[in-house]
């Protein structure tokens, strides 16, 4: 090492060392900030929009608007048929059977991104789940849950700093996200946490105990100011199904609405229009909010008792064709298809 010959040389060397130390400190600070920024997720309380705003494809190829699950507590799980965690299907099905009537919905999303452990076709997945585990909860088409082609639903789910696991990419099959009745993510568990783990069950039961009407209103895409409703405007044009229910958490209503949105083609083919009249919450006609006074007028017009679930089918001639406390679309279609078609309808059918 060269010997310093004078004080000026010493000062120069010291100044250079100080500058180098400052540069190293700045670089280290930048690395820390970068790591902290990349790892910091969005607080679920600050989640701007419901996770139920997406549309996904069901296992049988139908488009499903996840908004149909509004009012339910939802568990979203990425699943696979050839994984060490595949036996969790059994526990998921058990949860479905125990809590579905209380408002729990389990959504399974097959994914083949982890060592190719979900190679089957949609039909193969369906058969595997039903034959081996008796799965009856809702299953969806294969999705990608990580990487540049990850679906928008999972991009949102993994961006949130949700306890206990926190933000970050999906690590393996059978990770679990729990959504409250408005579609806001309240918990995330890793693959190793079994569906019947006490800490997971505790969160499900806590969210189920919350009344849907006490939660913040779900924003319906395309919703506008409350509109006055005059059913006469739709007669001779549409057949109208009116669902009179207490709230969105009503299990009969939720089952019917999932069927409705899962079979949109059948509803449009038969010129069906859905009107939802809630005692608690905003009533709707399609994506439009119905003014409370109009909703009450419709309820009185059809003489529906409070605290009852009633489905009414109105024909294009304005007369009531069907009234039930429980109903499915097959029943509605049967009644409609048994009706004699008007000349205009017959002509449209022949031309179409």
DSSP 270-285: TTEEEEEEESSS--EE
Contact criterion met (CB below 8 Å) for 262 and 62: yes
1 pLDDT more than 90: no
Query: What digits encode the pLDDT tens for the residues 171-200?
Result: 999 999 999 988 889 999 999 999 999 999
Catalytic hit among 83, 111, 129, 151: 83
Fold entry, domain 51-211: Glutaredoxin (3.40.30)
Q: Which residues of 34-53 are buried (b: 16+ CB within 10 A; e: fewer)?
A: eeeeeeeeeebeebeebbbb
Q: Which residues of 153-183 are buried (b: 16+ CB within 10 A; e: fewer)?
A: bbebbbebbbeebebeebebbbbbbbbbbbb
More confident residue, 248 or 18: 248
Q: What angle do CA 90, 96, 101 make, to 5 degrees?
A: 160
What rounded mean pLDDT belongs to the chain?
A: 80
Query: Annotated catalytic, 38?
Result: no
Give which of 342, 338, 293 is closest to 313, Cα–Cα: 338
d(CA 226, CA 294): 10
11 pLDDT more than 60: no
> What SS3 class is residue 318?
coil
More confident residue, 248 or 68: 68
pLDDT category of residue 19 using cuts at 50, 70 and 90: low
32 pLDDT more than 90: no
Give which of 217, 213, 211 is closest to 184, Cα–Cα: 217
Class of 231-341 in CATH: alpha beta
Calculate mean pLDDT across residues 222-231.
Answer: 64
List of residues 6+ apart from 155 with CB closer than 8 A: none
Secondary structure letter of residue 244 according to DSSP:
E
pLDDT category of residue 2 using cuts at 50, 70 and 90: very low
112 pLDDT more than 90: yes
Bridge partners of 109, per DSSP, are: 78
**Can you give the length of the chain in residues?**
352
Look up the pTM and report it: 0.52
What integer pLDDT is reported at residue 230 of this predicted model?
82
* Region(s) of the chain under CATH 3.40.30.10: 51-211, 231-341
d(CA 180, CA 73): 5
């Amino acid at each position: 090492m060269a010997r310093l010959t004078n004080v000026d040389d010493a000062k120069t060397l010291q100044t250079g060392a100080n500058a180098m130390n400052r540069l190293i400190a700045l670089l280290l600070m930048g690395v820390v900030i970068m790591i902290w920024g990349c790892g910091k997720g969005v607080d679920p309380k600050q989640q701007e929009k419901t996770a139920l705003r997406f549309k996904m494809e069901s296992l049988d190829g139908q488009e499903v608007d996840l908004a149909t699950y509004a009012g339910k507590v939802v568990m979203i799980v990425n699943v696979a048929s050839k994984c060490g965690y595949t036996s969790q299907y059994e526990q998921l099905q058990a949860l479905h059977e125990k809590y579905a009537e209380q408002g729990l919905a389990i959504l399974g999303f097959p994914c083949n991104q982890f060592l190719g452990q979900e190679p089957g076709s949609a039909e193969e997945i369906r058969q595997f789940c039903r034959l081996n585990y008796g799965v009856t909860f809702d299953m969806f088409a294969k999705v990608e849950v990580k990487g540049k082609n990850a679906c928008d639903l999972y991009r949102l789910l993994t961006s949130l700093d949700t306890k206990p696991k926190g933000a970050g990419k999906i690590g393996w099959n059978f990770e679990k996200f729990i959504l409250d009745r408005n579609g806001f993510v309240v918990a995330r568990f890793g693959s190793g946490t079994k569906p019947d783990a006490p800490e997971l069950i505790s969160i499900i039961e806590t969210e189920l105990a919350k009344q849907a009407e006490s939660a913040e209103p779900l924003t319906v895409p395309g919703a506008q100011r409350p509109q006055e409703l005059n059913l006469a405007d739709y007669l001779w044009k549409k057949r109208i199904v009116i669902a009179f229910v207490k709230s969105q958490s009503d299990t009969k209503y939720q089952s019917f609405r999932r069927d409705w949105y899962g079979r949109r083609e059948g509803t449009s083919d038969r010129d069906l229009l859905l009107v939802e009249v809630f005692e608690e919450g905003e009533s709707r006609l399609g994506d439009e909010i119905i003014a409370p006074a109009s909703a009450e007028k419709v309820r009185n017009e059809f003489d529906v008792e409070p605290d009852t679930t009633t489905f009414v089918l109105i024909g294009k001639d304005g007369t009531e064709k069907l009234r039930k406390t429980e109903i499915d679309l097959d029943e509605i279609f049967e009644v409609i298809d048994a009706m004699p078609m008007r000349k205009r309808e017959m002509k449209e059918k022949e031309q179409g």
